[in-house]
């Protein structure tokens, strides 16, 4: 269910970007954060008639925008979005199919990001501490993520 709703809601911000520019689109999608309750995971239990959280709309759109930022290549990002529509237009897809497709096309392991947004309700905190020991930079990442996220860029 989240796949339909998150991509549809994210499509609204893409429309805003097309009409008014990227800055307004980011403002639009970030406005969705006010409506995120984090009351339960977006993905409900499989095999039963039970949906996940209504956060699948706004939180799903914010997740996709976050992933766009991590991909950090709009040409690639929009080819991934278009590719999803083309490759799976007559298919029933699962979360794993979507994640694997985006991982493969982006060349990045985005599974921990998807998991954090879709399977957990806690809002993660992230601490990034950069230090310099003599001439050698070092850093540390700590936080309350439920799953590992990204490697330290100084490592």
pLDDT, tens digit only, all 155 positions of the chain: 888 889 999 999 999 999 999 999 999 999 999 999 999 988 877 777 777 788 898 899 999 999 999 999 999 999 999 999 999 999 999 999 999 999 999 999 999 889 989 998 887 766 666 666 676 666 655 555 555 545 544 44
d(CA 75, CA 104): 16
Domains and CATH numbers, the chain: 2-119 (1.10.390.10), 124-155 (no CATH)
Opening angle at CA 32, ends 30 and 37, nearest 5: 125
Nearest C-alpha neighbor of 65 from the set 104, 31, 105, 98: 31
pLDDT at 154: 46
For residue 9, what pLDDT is reported?
A: 92
Q: Read off the pTM.
A: 0.81
Residue 25: per-residue pLDDT = 95
b/e burial code for range 102-122 (CB count within 10 A of at least 16 → b): beebbeeebeebbbbbbeeee
């Amino acid at each position: 269910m989240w796949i339909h709703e998150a991509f549809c809601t994210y499509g609204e911000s893409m429309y805003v970007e097309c009409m008014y520019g990227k800055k307004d689109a980011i403002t639009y999608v970030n406005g969705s954060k006010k409506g995120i309750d984090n009351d339960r995971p977006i993905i409900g239990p499989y095999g039963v008639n039970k949906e996940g959280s209504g956060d699948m709309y706004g939180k799903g759109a914010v997740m996709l925008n976050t992933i766009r930022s991590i991909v950090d290549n709009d040409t690639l990002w929009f080819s991934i979005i278009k590719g999803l529509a083309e490759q799976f237009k007559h298919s029933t897809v699962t979360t794993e199919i979507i994640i694997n497709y985006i991982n493969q096309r982006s060349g990045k392991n985005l599974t921990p990001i998807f998991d954090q947004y879709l399977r957990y309700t806690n809002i993660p905190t992230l601490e990034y501490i950069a230090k310099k020991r003599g001439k050698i930079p070092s850093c540390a990442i700590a936080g309350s993520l439920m799953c590992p996220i990204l490697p330290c860029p100084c490592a």
